[in-house]
Chains A and B, each alone.
Chain A
Amino acid sequence: EVQLLESGGGFVQPGGSLRLSCSASRSTSGRHAMAWVRQAPGKGLEWVSTIDYNGGRTYYAESVKGRFTITRDDAKNTLYLQLNSLRAEDTAVYYCAQVSWPTHFDFWGQGTHVAVSS
């Protein structure tokens, strides 16, 4: 079992940027694909982005394509999500999750809050 811990959330104005991090408790070799899933206040879960086991392929929801970038640094056991051109509708708790490729998310972090407001 892997423990995931997100960080980097905060308050930002529209048009601003943030970088989220997700630290894994063990080495990601034996690597897994990883993903970000978000949840707006009082709403359901929305998949945001996935990166494959070696960072070679990335996938994005239409709602964030061109604005968000997912990367990984396996030497640091860390997943990242760069959020640019933020909008009010990006306000959410952002969870990182391990992907049991390609079908489902088997381990989740506790989430980090992102609030976009003027």
Chain B
Amino acid sequence: EIVLAQSPGTLSLSPGERATLSCRASQSITSTYLAWYQQKVGQAPRLLIYGASKRATGIPDRFTGSGSGTDFTLTISRLDPEDFAVYYCQQYGSSLWTFGQGTKVEIK
């Protein structure tokens, strides 16, 4: 089973700053099979990025996904107040779906 490790656990930033979130897989994965989600307090997760770099419908272009192999990154170019949330990466492989443990982006 592929394990996803997200870092950092918590990112403390101010609105307008750039956020860089990392997701590292325990073995190489196909970029097609890597997605990112945003979850706000008390809400369901929302798909942000799929195929490592494709934005889901309605997702602002300040969200960018990149990476390949074992290292993937979600970048938020300029944090909007509504972007403070928890972010999860997720992968599919061998009929299993796994999530990283999440990165919390909090207001500094």
A110 and B92 form a contact (CB under 8 A): no
Residue in contact with B47 in the complex, picked from A37, A105, A109, CB distance below 8 Å: A105
Question: In the complex, what residues of A have CB within 8 A of residue B39's CB?
Answer: 45
The SS class assigned to the B binding surface is strand
Q: Does A68 contact B (CB under 8 A)?
A: no
B 27-44 to A, binary, CB cutoff 8 A, 1 in contact else 0: 000001101010100011
**CB interface residues, B 92-108, toward A, < 8 Å:** 92, 95-102
Q: How far is the CB of B102 from chain A (nearest CB, A)?
A: 5
A44 and B44 form a contact (CB under 8 A): no
What's the tally of chain B residues with a CB closer than 8 Å to chain A? 24
Question: Beyond A95-B44, A111-B44, is A103–B96 a contact (Cβ under 8 Å)?
Answer: no
Q: How far is the CB of B100 from chain A (nearest CB, A)?
A: 7
A45 and B88 form a contact (CB under 8 A): yes
Cα separation A110 to B88 with both chains bound (whole Å)? 17
What's the tally of chain A residues with a CB closer than 8 Å to chain B? 21
**CB interface residues, B 60-98, toward A, < 8 Å:** 88, 90, 92, 95-98
Question: Beyond A44-B101, A47-B98, A103-B51, is A108–B46 a contact (Cβ under 8 Å)?
Answer: yes
Q: How far is the CB of A41 from chain B (nearest CB, A)?
A: 12
> Taking CB as reference atom, which chain A residue is nearest B91?
A103
Among A50, A59, A108, A111, the one with the most B-chain Cβ atoms within 10 Å of its Cβ is A108
Q: Does B45 contact A (CB under 8 A)?
A: yes
Cα separation A61 to B95 with both chains bound (whole Å)? 10
Question: Beyond A44-B88, A95-B44, is A100–B100 a contact (Cβ under 8 Å)?
Answer: no
Question: In the complex, what residues of A have CB within 8 A of residue B56's CB?
Answer: 106
> Taking CB as reference atom, which chain A residue is nearest B99?
A45
B35 and A59 form a contact (CB under 8 A): no
B35 and A104 form a contact (CB under 8 A): yes
Among B33, B35, B92, B96, the one with the most A-chain Cβ atoms within 10 Å of its Cβ is B92
